[in-house]
């Protein structure tokens, strides 16, 4: 095996001498790599190896074969073990051409360097993950290069200060420093790096004890976790699992130094990126396999980055701004929108459409409102015209009602004048006369007020009104007209008040229109002209008003038409009285209908909702 | 001039005012809130009186009351007084014999003038009728033969003609004629003719 390799090396050397430099360096070394790691098979090493494997697999020029061995150096050791291991490797790879050895971790590197002369003389070694102190310790042997990680304890303490601003204590949790393979150099660094801080070392203890202690740490402290592999009594753990168990109990944030510790409960820190380390080591290895000399490739630095666990940051109330520059944050809980992108877009779209629809409907509603207001105004105007017409029809009644008190006043005034002219005026009578004059004047004023209210051009307005009062007033207004037209007018009101919401003037107008209509209908009959007005409660929620007459009634086929505009049977009628009555009642959320009474005559009914 | 005024008006205030005024003018006043009440107690035709009647009264209206009174042969003068006068009503009531038609408010002078005129006319009518009744009573006092003579004398017949017509002597007729003049209390034939004319004997 060794012969073969050296022979090959000789041939390569010859070829290199004979051929110009530009000749491809391919086939200078066997395209196979032996990866030795100190791993126990945990996640960290798995990631490192897969990073390495992925880069190697992308090597297009020639296929590279990977052999790998997990040496489990964190759990096993001792001269006998090492000797056996050496023998095992020697025998196993005796006939296998190897182009380079990749060593993962300081312990493996140390061992391979020790065995190289015997097992793989002259074979280049690419170390993955040596810290600076270890690199210094191996004193750059020939044909060795690799990836140096800078992971001083000082950096993690810096992180601890960032996480706990008023930090005064750090708790170092892990195996004994000597038992550690990656973080063992921290042991010697504690004194200098943690200067000014109280240090609680929870190292090399049973996991159950660790869990107890981390639950009772002082307030201004942080835990710095290296790794726990064993409880010192023969129980072994994967350090990430151990961290999970510790984090469960810990009462303080845990600063960690490996990417794989972020998930199980570490808040973060300068962490080793196993995948990145593997990739870097692979790149160096490929260069060597392709012909570069290991001695000419300086070691690269990298594989460490400040990374933090967002959820832990939330838990310990750590703000992003206090973290070291260039920090990356993992496990950031995606916002709802990030999490349910399509769903939320759909919801947003639905909301937008809905909002648009609502806006559209509001606009429609607004237009409808305007139209309603407009139509109501029109109705009010028409009602006003109708009232003017009604007032014209009733003008004789109005004149009579006015002249009655005016006549009394004039007569009384003249009488008083005469009395005062007499030699012995009767002042008592003068007083009576003056009182009468005053009363009659008020009466006349009341007529004018009623008339003005009736003729006022008012917009539709609702008030709390008593329907009985409206009926009384309307019938008073009509009484003179009725007697002039020889119509007996009766009003039967329901006891008490009938509170409704409505426009008093317009409701009065409805009553006037209906009664005048009835009186007109009876103009042709010789005697027995009667109009009866009635108000009654119709259940608890509406009031029904009826105006019935003793006229000829409405032809049955016209009952539905009588409320139509311009429907009239009168010579001088406009046909708007009943139509306006209906419009007004509908605007008051009421109903109006006509029917013929069984005993003859027509009856007009309308209902209005009672005020709540 | 004294007299009794019957006021029919449904307006209590107006009744009081008009009663006051009329009493001050020296009249006696009777008031009725409805037409029916006046019908129930028909006023005495023979005393000087006048009815002051509203047109619009609940129940029996003014014009209707006028009609009923006419049917009953009343000669009581009626002055209408209304808050609002429309032409058809005015014409109808005047045709039916109303003395006047006034519109409220009415000044006292106008009202009292109307009442006075109405009462004066009524008094004249009453005087006339009184005289006619007297004359009829005189005619009633004549014997049948005297009545025949009376009728023929006023038609201008001579005694001789009358005697021939009645188949009697001129002398008898002369005596009858003297009796007639005596009973009818007239001095001359001309007076007798006038009287006969007024009684409708001629014609």
Please report, for the domain that includes residue A62, its CATH number. 3.40.50.2300
Query: Residue A373: inside a domain, yes or no?
Result: no
Q: What is each CA distance from A65 to A96, A97, A143, B140, in whole angstroms?
A: 11, 10, 21, 176
Last residue of a domain, one of A149, A172, A201: A149
What is the rounded distance in angstroms from the CA atom of residue A515 to the CA atom of residue A520?
Answer: 9
**Which chain A positions have a beta carbon within 8 Å of B11's beta carbon?**
404, 408
> Are A128 and A268 in the same domain?
no
What is the rounded distance in angstroms from the CA atom of residue B25 to the CA atom of residue B19?
Answer: 10
Last residue of a domain, one of A106, A134, A149: A149
User: What is residue A298's DSSP assignment?
Assistant: P
Fold of B141-199: Arc Repressor Mutant, subunit A (1.10.10)
pLDDT tens, position by position, A481-492: 787 777 888 999
* Chain B interface includes A430 (CB < 8 A): no
Query: Residue A287: inside a domain, yes or no?
Result: no
To the nearest whole Å, the CA of A477 is away from the closest chain B CA by 14
Best of B14, B35, B67, B111 to substitute, by most chain A Cβ atoms within 10 angstroms, is B14
Closest in B17, B81, B106 to A436, CB measured: B17
Neighbour count for residue A12 (Cβ, 10 Å):
15
B14 with A407: Cβ contact below 8 A:
yes
A410 with B107: Cβ contact below 8 A:
yes
Stated length of chain A: 612
Neighbour count for residue B183 (Cβ, 10 Å):
16
Dihedral over Cα of A112, A114, A117, A118: its sign: negative
Query: Residue A65: inside a domain, yes or no?
Result: yes
What CATH architecture is B4-128?
A: 3-Layer(aba) Sandwich (3.40)
* Chain B interface includes A406 (CB < 8 A): yes
Query: Residue A439: inside a domain, yes or no?
Result: no
What's the mean pLDDT in A93-117? Answer: 89
Task: Name the band, by pLDDT with cuts 50, 70 and 90, for residue A170.
Answer: very high
Per-residue pLDDT at A289 exceeds 60: yes
Query: Residue A52: inside a domain, yes or no?
Result: yes
> Are A158 and A144 in the same domain?
no
**Which chain A positions have a beta carbon within 8 Å of B58's beta carbon?**
479, 483
Query: Residue A92: inside a domain, yes or no?
Result: yes
User: What is residue A184's DSSP assignment?
Assistant: T
Are the C-beta atoms of B111 and B82 separated by less than 8 Å? no
CATH number of the domain where residue A473 is located = 3.30.565.10
Q: What is the pLDDT of residue A2?
A: 44
pLDDT tens, position by position, B60-118: 888 889 999 999 988 889 999 988 777 888 898 999 989 899 988 888 889 999 999 99
A404 with B14: Cβ contact below 8 A:
yes
Find residue A69's DSSP bridge partners.
A36
pLDDT tens, position by position, A179-189: 787 788 898 88
> Are A101 and A213 in the same domain?
no
> Are A247 and A317 in the same domain?
yes
> Are A544 and A523 in the same domain?
yes
Q: Chain centroid to CA A482: how far? A: 71
- Helix or strand (DSSP H, E) at A116: helix A106-119
What's the mean pLDDT in A27-32? Answer: 76
> Are A230 and A326 in the same domain?
yes
**Which chain B positions have a beta carbon within 8 Å of A486's beta carbon?**
61
The per-residue DSSP string of A7-26 comes to HHHHHHHHHHHHS-TTS--T
Residue where the block lists tokens 């009341």: A446
Interface of B with A (CB under 8 A): 11, 13-14, 16-18, 20-21, 24, 56-58, 61, 81-84, 86, 103-108, 111
> Are A94 and A190 in the same domain?
no
Are the C-beta atoms of A180 and A174 separated by less than 8 Å? yes
Best of A411, A415, A447, A480 to substitute, by most chain B Cβ atoms within 10 angstroms, is A411
What is the rounded distance in angstroms from the CA atom of residue A186 to the CA atom of residue A175?
Answer: 12
Closest in B14, B21, B83 to A414, CB measured: B21
CB contacts < 8 Å between A and B, how many?
83
**Which chain A positions have a beta carbon within 8 Å of B57's beta carbon?**
483
Structure tokens at B200: 């409708």
> Are A173 and A314 in the same domain?
yes
Task: Name the band, by pLDDT with cuts 50, 70 and 90, for residue A16.
Answer: very low
Best of B56, B92, B112 to substitute, by most chain A Cβ atoms within 10 angstroms, is B56
**Which chain A positions have a beta carbon within 8 Å of B107's beta carbon?**
410, 414
Q: What is the pLDDT of residue A23?
A: 38
Neighbour count for residue B24 (Cβ, 10 Å):
16
Rg (CA), chain A: 55
Are the C-beta atoms of B10 and B34 separated by less than 8 Å? yes
| Residue A386 C-beta-side C-alpha neighbours within 13 Å | 32
> Are A178 and A129 in the same domain?
no
What's the mean pLDDT in A23-42? Answer: 72
* Chain B interface includes A443 (CB < 8 A): yes
Are the C-beta atoms of A59 and A32 separated by less than 8 Å? no
Q: Which domain holds residue A95?
A: 2-149
What is the rounded distance in angstroms from the CA atom of residue A172 to the CA atom of residue A170?
Answer: 6
Last residue of a domain, one of A118, A149, A180: A149
What is the rounded distance in angstroms from the CA atom of residue B105 to the CA atom of residue B87?
Answer: 17
The chain-wide mean pLDDT, for chain A, equals 85
**Among residues of chain A, what percentage have pLDDT more than 90?**
30
Per-residue pLDDT at A266 exceeds 50: yes
> Are A610 and A479 in the same domain?
yes
What pTM, to 2 d.p., does this model score?
0.48
Q: What is the pLDDT of residue A573?
A: 64
Closest in B14, B61, B111 to A408, CB measured: B14
pLDDT tens, position by position, A38-74: 876 788 888 999 999 999 888 877 888 889 888 888 7
A415 with B21: Cβ contact below 8 A:
yes
Query: Residue A10: inside a domain, yes or no?
Result: yes
What 3-state class would DSSP assign to A11? helix
Q: Give the count of domains, chain A.
A: 3
| Residue A126 C-beta-side C-alpha neighbours within 13 Å | 29
> Are A216 and A312 in the same domain?
yes
**Cα first-last separation, chain B:** 38
> Which has more pLDDT, A387 or B18?
B18
Q: What is each CA distance from B171 to A286, B147, B168, B179, B195, in whole angstroms?
A: 195, 17, 8, 13, 25
> Are A468 and A600 in the same domain?
yes
- The full set of domain ranges for chain B reads 4-128, 141-199
* Chain B interface includes A442 (CB < 8 A): no
Best of B20, B22, B25 to substitute, by most chain A Cβ atoms within 10 angstroms, is B20
């Amino acid at each position: 095996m060794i012969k073969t390799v050296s022979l090959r090396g000789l041939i390569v050397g010859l070829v290199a001498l004979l051929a110009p430099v530009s000749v491809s360096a391919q086939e200078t070394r066997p395209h196979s790599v032996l990866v030795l790691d100190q791993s126990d098979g945990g996640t960290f090493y798995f990631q490192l190896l897969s990073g390495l494997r992925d880069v190697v697999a992308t090597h297009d020029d020639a296929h590279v074969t990977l052999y790998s061995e997990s040496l489990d150096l964190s759990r096993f050791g001792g001269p006998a073990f090492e000797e056996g291991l050496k023998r095992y490797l020697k025998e196993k790879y005796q006939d296998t051409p190897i182009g380079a050895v990749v060593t993962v971790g300081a312990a493996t590197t140390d061992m391979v360097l020790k065995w190289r002369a015997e097992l793989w003389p002259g074979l280049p070694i690419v170390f993955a993950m040596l810290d600076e102190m270890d690199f210094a310790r191996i004193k750059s042997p020939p044909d060795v290069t690799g990836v140096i990680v800078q992971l001083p304890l000082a950096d993690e303490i810096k992180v601890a200060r960032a996480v706990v601003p008023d930090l005064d204590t750090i708790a170092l949790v892990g195996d004994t420093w000597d038992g550690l393979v990656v973080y063992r150099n921290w042991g010697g660094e504690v004194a200098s790096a943690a200067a000014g801080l109280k240090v609680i070392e929870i190292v090399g203890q049973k996991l159950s004890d660790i869990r107890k202690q981390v639950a009772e740490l002082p307030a201004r402290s942080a835990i710095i976790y290296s790794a726990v592999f064993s409880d010192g009594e023969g129980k072994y753990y994967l350090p990430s699992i151990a961290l999970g168990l510790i984090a469960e109990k810990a009462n303080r944030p845990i600063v960690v130094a490996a990417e794989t510790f972020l998930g199980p409960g570490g808040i973060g820190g300068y962490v080793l990126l196993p995948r990145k380390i593997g990739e870097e080591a692979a790149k160096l290895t490929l260069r060597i396999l392709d012909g570069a000399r290991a001695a000419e490739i300086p070691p690269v630095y990298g594989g460490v980055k400040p990374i933090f666990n967002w959820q832990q940051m939330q838990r310990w109330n750590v703000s992003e701004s206090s973290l070291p520059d260039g920090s990356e944050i993992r496990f950031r809980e995606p916002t709802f929108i990030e999490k349910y992108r399509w769903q939320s877009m759909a919801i947003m779209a639905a909301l937008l459409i809905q909002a648009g629809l609502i806006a559209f409907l509001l606009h429609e509603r607004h237009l409808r409102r305007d139209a309603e207001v407009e139509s109501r105004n029109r109705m009010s105007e028409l009602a006003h015209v109708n009232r003017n017409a009604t007032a014209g029809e009733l003008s004789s009644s109005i004149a009579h009602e006015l002249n009655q008190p005016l006549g009394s006043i004039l007569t009384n005034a003249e009488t008083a004048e005469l009395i005062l002219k007499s030699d012995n005026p009767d002042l008592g009578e003068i007083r009576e006369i003056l009182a009468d004059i005053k009363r009659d004047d008020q009466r006349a004023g009341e007529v004018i007020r009623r008339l003005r209210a009736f003729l006022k051009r008012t917009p539709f307005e609702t008030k709390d009104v008593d329907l009985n009062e409206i009926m009384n007033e309307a019938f008073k207004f009509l009484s003179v007209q009725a007697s002039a037209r020889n119509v007996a007018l009766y009003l039967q009101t329901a006891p008490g008040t009938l509170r409704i919401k409505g426009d008093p003037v317009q409701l009065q107008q409805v009553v006037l229109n209906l009664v005048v209509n009835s009186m007109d209908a009876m103009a042709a009959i010789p005697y027995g002209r009667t109009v009866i007005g009635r108000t009654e409660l119709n259940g608890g929620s509406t009031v029904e008003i009826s105006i019935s007459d003793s006229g000829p009634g409405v032809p049955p086929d016209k009952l539905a038409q009588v409320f139509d505009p311009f429907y009239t049977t009168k010579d001088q009628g406009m046909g708007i009285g009943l139509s306006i009555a209906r419009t007004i009642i509908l605007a008051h959320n009421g109903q109006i209908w006509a029917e013929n009474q069984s005993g003859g005559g027509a009856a007009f009914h309308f209902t209005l909702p009672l005020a709540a | 001039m004294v007299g009794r005024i019957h006021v029919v008006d449904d307006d209590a205030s107006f009744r009081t005012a008009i009663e006051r005024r009329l009493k001050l003018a020296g009249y006696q006043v009777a008031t009725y809130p409805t037409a029916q009440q006046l019908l129930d107690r028909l006023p005495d035709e023979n005393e000087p009186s006048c009815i002051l009647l509203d047109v619009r009264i609940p129940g029996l209206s003014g014009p209707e009351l006028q009609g009923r009174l006419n049917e009953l042969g009343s000669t009581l003068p009626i002055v209408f007084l209304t808050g609002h006068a429309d032409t058809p009503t005015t014409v109808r009531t005047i045709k039916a014999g109303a003395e006047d038609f006034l519109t409220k408010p009415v000044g006292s002078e106008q009202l009292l003038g109307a009442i006075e005129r109405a009462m004066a006319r009524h008094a004249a009518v009453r005087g006339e009728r009184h005289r006619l009744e007297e004359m009829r009573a005189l005619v009633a006092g004549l014997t049948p033969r005297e009545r025949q003579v009376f009728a023929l004398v006023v038609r201008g017949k001579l005694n001789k003609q009358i005697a021939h017509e009645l188949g009697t002597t001129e002398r008898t007729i002369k005596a009858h004629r003297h009796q007639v003049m005596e009973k009818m209390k007239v001095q001359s034939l001309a007076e007798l003719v006038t009287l006969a004319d007024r009684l409708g004997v001629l014609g």
